Structure 1
């Protein structure tokens, strides 16, 4: 596999493999973010697989990464974040609470 294809596949994995929410309350935000990212993946893959693509694979990969940066996996507490907070002695309620200013 060439480096450009590998880079695109890495960006696709980055887009879709986001951390799961710690609570069902975070599921709505997770689903919205993952859906937005999946849409950008589909656009990128269609662009690359088009018989006469307007842009090359390198440009498409860069564009996909820009879109991922615009739709970060944020706005919910992940399982990993909750476990880390619990390990520091926080209660479950504290561990799954969003920091002030971050709304779901």
Structure 2
């Protein structure tokens, strides 16, 4: 497989494969973040698959990375974060609370 295509596919996977929320309270934020990231991935793929793309695969991959940086998988507590907090001795309520006090 071409290295540029593989790189683009890896970034598309990064866009879509974000951590799941620890509670249903984080589901709405998770869905919005994933939707935003999926939209940017679709735009990148359409650009590359266009018969006459304006930019090459490398540019499109870099652009997608920039968009993902602007839409990080944040704003909710992930399963891994909750487990780490529990392992550190926090209660479930503490483990699923975002810094700043917002419950998830």
Same fold (TM over 0.5): yes
The answer as to whether partners of 1:47 and 1:60 remain within 8 angstroms in 2 is: yes
Residue 11 of structure 1 and its aligned partner are, at CA, apart by 0.2
SS at match of 1:22: coil
Where 2:89 maps in the other structure, the secondary structure is coil
Structure 1, unaligned runs of 5 or more: none
The alpha-carbon deviation at position 37 of structure 1 amounts to: 0.3
Q: Could you tell me which residue of structure 2 aligns to residue 45 of structure 1?
A: 45
- TM-score, normalization by structure 2: 0.96
Q: Which runs of 4+ in 1 moved over 2 A?
A: 101-104
**Corresponding residue number in structure 1 for 2:83:** 83
Aligned partner of 2:20 in structure 1 is 20
Aligned length in residues: 104
Look up the SS of the partner of 1:67 in the other structure.
helix
- Structure 2 residue aligned with 1:63: 63
- Cα deviation 1:29-73 (Å, max 9, x = unaligned): 000000000000000000000000000000000000000000000
- Whether contact under 8 Å (2:23, 2:96) holds in the other structure is yes
How does the TM-score come out when normalised to structure 1? 0.96
Q: Say whether 1:3 aligns with 2:24.
A: no
